Chains A and B, each alone.
Chain A
Amino acid sequence: MSADALGLKLGGPGGQAVVARLRKRAAEERRWAKVTLRVGIAIVAIVAFVCFAAPLLGFADPNQQNLLGALKPPSLEHPFGTDALGRDILTRVVYGGRIDLTFAVLTTIAAFVLGTLVGAVAGYRGGWLDTFVNRLVDTVVAFPFIVFILAIVTITGPGLKGAYIGVIAVSWALYARMARAEMLVEREREYILAAKTLGYSTRRIVFRHALPNVVRASIVFSMAEIVLNILLLSSLSYLGLGVQPPTPEWGALVAEGQDVLLTSWWVATLPGLVIVLVGIGFSLIGDGIADRFGRDFSLSGGE
Chain B
Amino acid sequence: MGAYLLRRAVQAIPVLIGISLAAFLLIHLVPGDPARILLGAQATPKAVATLHEQLGLDRPLPTQYLNFITGAVHFEFGESLSQKVGVGKLIGTRAEVTLLLLMMATLLSITIAVPLAVAAALRRNRPVDHSIRLFSMFTFAMPSFLLGLLLILFFSLKLKWLPTSGYGSGFGGHLRALILPALTVGLYLAPILLRTLRIGIIDTLGTEYIEAARARGLARRLIIFKHVLKNSVIPTVTVLGLNIGFLLSGLVVIENVFSLPGLGSELVTAIGNRDYPTIQALTLVFGVSVVAINLLTDLLYSYLDPRVRL
Contact = CB atoms under 8 A, between A and B. Distances in A.
A147 B141 contact: no
Interface stretch (B80-88, B216-224, B264-272): B264-272
B306 interface: no
Interface residues of A, number: 48
B143 A142 contact: no
Interface stretch (B1-9, B24-32, B40-48, B171-179): B24-32
A298 interface: no
B253 A279 contact: no
Nearest to A146: B249
A138 B12 CA distance: 9
Interface in A187-240: 224, 227, 231, 234-235, 238-240
A231 B139 CA distance: 12
Contact of A283 (B141, B157, B247): B141
Contacts of A224: 140
A254 B18 contact: no
Nearest to A234: B143
B287 interface: yes
Contacts of A238: 143, 145, 253, 256
Interface residues of B, number: 48
B99 interface: no
Nearest to B285: A147
Contacts of A138: 14-15, 18
B190 to A, nearest CB: 16
Nearest to A240: B272
A147 B146 contact: no
Contact of B271 (A25, A135, A144, A154): A154
B268 A150 contact: yes
A158 B272 CA distance: 8
Which 9 residue pairs spanning A and B have beta carbons closest together?
A: A279-B141, A139-B18, A272-B146, A146-B249, A144-B248, A144-B249, A144-B245, A147-B286, A262-B157
Given A143-B286, A146-B248, A238-B145, 11 more contacts: A135-B18, A150-B267, A154-B26, A154-B276, A231-B144, A241-B272, A251-B145, A255-B145, A261-B157, A275-B141, A275-B146
Interface of B: 14-15, 18-19, 21-23, 26, 29-31, 125, 137-138, 140-146, 149-150, 152-153, 157, 244-249, 252-253, 256, 267-268, 271-272, 274, 276, 279, 282-283, 286-287, 290-291
Interface of A: 25, 29, 135-136, 138-139, 141-147, 150-151, 153-155, 158, 224, 227, 231, 234-235, 238-241, 251, 254-255, 258, 261-262, 265, 268-269, 272-273, 275-280, 282-284
